[in-house]
Amino acid sequence: MHVLVIPSWYQTRFNMLSGVFFKDQALAISSQVKRVGIIAPVLISIKDVLKTKIFSFREEHIETDNIKEYIQPILAFPFFKTFNTALQFRIGKKMLKRYIHEFGVPDVIHLQTSLAGELALWMNKQYKVPFIVTEHWSGFLQKKASHAELKLARRVFSRSKHNIAVSEYFAQQLRNIFQEKFQVVPNSVELDFFAIGTDKFSQFTFLQVGRLDKNKNQEMLIKAFSHFDPAYNMRLKIVGEVKGHIKNELTKLIKSLGLIEKVEFCGPLNREEVRGVMQKSHCLVVSSQVETFCIVAIEAMSCGIPVVSTKCGGPEGIISSQTGILCKVNNEQSLYESMKEMSQKTWSPETIRSYVESNYSSTSYANKMLNLMR
């Protein structure tokens, strides 16, 4: 079988962590099929260009095992969303034609979120290639989808052979919005990449991993953390990309609460660095308002550390009494009490890791997806 993956966002030189799990999932199925291709025309903001100081937009061709990646960064113009989307589609079509000329027409397309759906619909019409779609985008739940994005999603979900959501909560929400059938195939984790850590930070350390924004709710997390008695000698590390002026606001909050010595912004780390911090931390905290799945939770559990999370959608299907604690969403006191309970309990890293191995391995994911593709 020849599988072509079309992601709506993807890792580039400008952001090496964006959509990294899309490649992990492609790798998961690659050993059981003839060929896997990835076509990724990716919009790059001017902010990303200025931040990285990378001014080259050349197309990248990467070959890994049985996977061919074609990645084309595209400079996005501010305030011209419709133009940017049209440009992305035009460039994507050219990439698809070149790919087909070199490798032939794929048997099936795996569309990673409906936002890139025009390319899958075009392939379906032009070459009669069927497609399945896995929806990840939380914008549908946060009511961020534009009229055009909702209209495209309806076309995609009505034409797709299988509509997939990454959690039961998300699947139900999508059923309600689009009146289409959705089945659940959870995300997977690359277990060979993660391992249980043995060298822990000297102080009990809570860790959060995710971009700094309102949905990730770092403000509530910091306020909840401030309830700890200073004698507890706790630490909080926040790893993630800064968005807007939120870091300045959070820094002011930390100063006003007297937490300068206890809360650390680690900035955007690469994947290996994130893994290292996870392995040394004692607990991951998810304080989000909405999560369609929460892949960082299973990555942390793969390192043997438990998770405290708000009941924000996806985590309810991931976290059990053996792997962590769920608390009320948008509730500072509930989050603090859960973090305190977490710090006072004894957790088994081996049990936590085993839970991920049983439920979220690459092999389990590949078997489910290949059955649908076949």
Helix (H) / strand (E) element for 307: namely strand 307-310
Can you give the pTM of this predicted structure? 0.92
Q: Which of 185, 166, 209 is nearest to 303 (CA)?
A: 209
Claim to verify: residue 249 and residue 319 sit in the same structural domain:
yes
Q: Which of 345, 295, 340 is nearest to 321 (CA)?
A: 345
* Confidence label for 16 from pLDDT (cuts 50, 70 and 90): confident
Domain membership flag for residue 263:
yes
Claim to verify: residue 274 and residue 322 sit in the same structural domain:
yes
User: Partners of 73 in the beta sheet?
Assistant: 42
Domain boundary among 127, 155, 185: 185
Domain membership flag for residue 373:
no
- The structural domain count of the chain equals 2
Domain membership flag for residue 372:
no
Domain membership flag for residue 252:
yes
Claim to verify: residue 339 and residue 256 sit in the same structural domain:
yes
Domain membership flag for residue 195:
no
Which tokens belong to 106? 């794929």
What are φ and ψ of residue 2, in 5° steps? -110, 115
Q: For tokens 């997939």, name the residue.
A: 164
Claim to verify: residue 108 and residue 30 sit in the same structural domain:
yes
Convert the pLDDT of each residue in 143-159 to its tens digit.
999 999 999 999 999 99
Work out the widest C-alpha separation in the chain, in whole angstroms.
67
* Confidence label for 244 from pLDDT (cuts 50, 70 and 90): low
Domain membership flag for residue 370:
no
Claim to verify: residue 17 and residue 164 sit in the same structural domain:
yes
Helix (H) / strand (E) element for 47: namely helix 46-52
SS3 per residue for 183-224:
EECCCCECCCCCCCCCCCCCCCEEEEECCECCCCCHHHHHHH
Claim to verify: residue 232 and residue 282 sit in the same structural domain:
yes
The two beta strands, 263-267 and 283-286, are unpaired
Claim to verify: residue 11 and residue 126 sit in the same structural domain:
yes
Convert the pLDDT of each residue in 102-136 to its tens digit.
999 999 999 999 999 999 999 999 999 999 999 99
Claim to verify: residue 179 and residue 216 sit in the same structural domain:
no
* Confidence label for 15 from pLDDT (cuts 50, 70 and 90): confident
Average pLDDT of the segment spanning 219-236: 95
- What's the Cα-to-Cα distance from 211 to each of 33, 181, 256, rounded to whole Å? 35, 31, 22
For residue 17, the domain's CATH number is 3.40.50.2000
- Residue 242 pLDDT > 80: no
Contact assessment for residue 310 and residue 297, using Cβ atoms and an 8 Å cutoff? no
Claim to verify: residue 39 and residue 145 sit in the same structural domain:
yes
Domain of residue 324: give its range: 205-358
Claim to verify: residue 239 and residue 351 sit in the same structural domain:
yes
Report the mean per-residue pLDDT for the chain: 95
Claim to verify: residue 106 and residue 34 sit in the same structural domain:
yes
Higher pLDDT, 241 or 243: 241
Claim to verify: residue 301 and residue 338 sit in the same structural domain:
yes
